[in-house]
Amino acid sequence: MNATFQSLILRLALSALLGALIGLQLGNIWLGLCAALFGATVFFLRDFQRFYTWLSSGAGPEKPLLSTFWSNVRDQVVRIVRQHENEKTQLVADVEFFKDSFQALDSAVLVVDRSGEIDWANAAAEKMLGISLQRDSGEPLQNLLRAPAFLKYFESQKFDEPMLMRSPVDRSRQLEVQATVFREEYTLIFVRDITNYAQLERVRQDFVANVSHEMRTPLTVINGYLELLMDNKKELAEDVHAVLKKMLVQSRRMDDLVNDLLWLSRLESMPQPDRSEQFSLKGMLDGIIEDARVGSPSVTIELRIANDIFRDATVTPEQIQMHGAYEELRAAISNLVQNALKYTSADGHISIECSRYFNDFYLQVKDDGVGIDPVHLPRLTERFYRVDDSRTTDTGGTGLGLAIVKHVLKRHDARLRIRSKPGKGSTFTCVFPIASLSYTPLPASHQAGQATSGLRANGDPTAAI
């Protein structure tokens, strides 16, 4: 293009020189120069008009006859247009390729725009959801899928975890729905049939529940006889007594394992807890702490409840009510406290802290025990996962405590966060929606001059261990 501009400038210079020479012959050099430049401008504008007309008509294959400068510009435009056409053709081919790929899937795929209307769907969507692209394109998805669980999931725009629902076409089919937002205005929805997986999971749950239940009776008998023999230790040889003691420890450990397995099976099979049930948060935590102090009286256990959990009022800890299944939540928090006791020294310190962070309620169990290597943290809530087999055996753990905590929290729309450093202790944070709490108002005569000591929720409470 530089050569093109140089050629244009050279032509203008020659035209000006020729005009100046003619003007010199006529006795007026400026008149000749102006006439030459005017003529060059006329020719330049004529070619521009031809180029503009050709460009406005779509830059078709019939090229206009132009000067060298405009011919080069025209050729550049032709190359750009061809390049864009090739890219468009390739893009269309890619889109069709992905559409064909999605059409071949057994899973349903839907694309929904910002307003919630269906933009595209594959063939499997009709089999699984009763949604046809030809019939339902442009229709609001909420009008076609009316399952309350799906509507809540879709409208929340919180797609970190998939949700489960029954197929509206065949109620015997179990579906897993996973959505994701792309380009900030579209939602891509994958729906997978997990009926077979769900049946296998039910078989597994029934097997674990049945085996655990059947093991309880013989274990109870074994424990009873071992305890009876231990009561008559004076009549036993020392080596026999030592063997019986080890047998009783392992028998009790197996009994704890069976109880935990049964508890997990119940959590997996029971319906969602009744959120209308409410109880005193402080009362529950006081009970947990009292039980913990019986077995570990030398460990300092502190309870701190923030006085600004509710933004519209300052309430005492005794006023705060928690919504959910009392027995489940008590068992979960008690598991965290007992877990902290296992790995904290006899003169250690444990704190239970309750505070608010934005629209979440944080219930934290902190200890200054041995801590956990961060490499193990992502798997701590897996069943039977062992950080250290020998340490778990020494402390008598079943490997199911944190799995139970995770299931209980999930049933209450909550989640578990874990922070830990070796030698620095651990922090287990139960994150509940703030709607899990309410408070009982006090009479106006009791509110004047009332002050509540405790923790204030400044910043993310999980930021430090």
- In this structure, of 41-50, 280-289, 326-335, 404-413, the range with the lowest mean pLDDT score is 41-50
With contact defined as beta carbons under 8 Å apart, do 70 and 43 qualify? no
With contact defined as beta carbons under 8 Å apart, do 169 and 179 qualify? no
Residue pointed to by tokens 């929904």: 112
Domains identified in the chain and CATH numbers: 2-95 (no CATH), 105-193 (3.30.450.20), 198-269 (1.10.287.130), 278-463 (3.30.565.10)
The pLDDT value given to residue 20: 66
Could you tell me which of 294, 292, 381 has the C-alpha nearest to residue 341?
A: 292
Per-residue pLDDT reduced to its tens digit, 426-461: 999 999 999 999 988 765 544 444 433 344 444 555
Put simply, whether the predicted model's pTM sits higher than 0.85 gets the answer no
* 289 SS3 class: helix
Take residue 458 and report the two structure tokens written for it. 């400044």
With contact defined as beta carbons under 8 Å apart, do 117 and 140 qualify? yes
Cβ density class 323-351: b for 16+ within 10 Å, e for less: bbbbebbbbbbbbbbbbbbbbbeeebbbb
Backbone angles phi, psi at 427, to 5 degrees: -130, 120
Residue 362 has pLDDT above 90, yes or no: yes
Could you tell me which of 450, 456, 458 has the C-alpha nearest to residue 318?
A: 450
Could you tell me which of 411, 415, 293 has the C-alpha nearest to residue 344?
A: 293
Q: How far, in Å, are 253, 274, 279, 438, 439 from residue 323 at the CA level? A: 33, 8, 7, 8, 11
Q: Give the rounded percent of residues in the chain with a pLDDT score beyond 90.
A: 15
- In this structure, of 18-32, 238-252, 277-291, 420-434, the range with the lowest mean pLDDT score is 18-32
Residue 209 has pLDDT above 90, yes or no: no
CA distance 283 to 277: 15
Q: pLDDT tier at 354 (50, 70, 90 boundaries)?
A: very high
Average pLDDT over residues 226-253: 80
Could you tell me which of 208, 253, 219 has the C-alpha nearest to residue 392?
A: 253
State the burial class of residue 19 (Cβ atoms within 10 Å of its Cβ: 0-12, 13-18, 19+).
Answer: buried
Task: Give the pairing of strands 300-305 and 186-193.
Answer: unpaired
Give rounded-to-5 percent helix, strand, coil for the chain: 55, 15, 30
Residues facing residue 354 across a β-bridge: 305, 363
Average pLDDT over residues 282-288: 93
Residue 370 has pLDDT above 60, yes or no: yes
Q: Give the rounded percent of residues in the chain with a pLDDT score beyond 70.
A: 83
- In this structure, of 12-21, 203-212, 391-400, the range with the lowest mean pLDDT score is 391-400
Residue pointed to by tokens 């200890």: 367
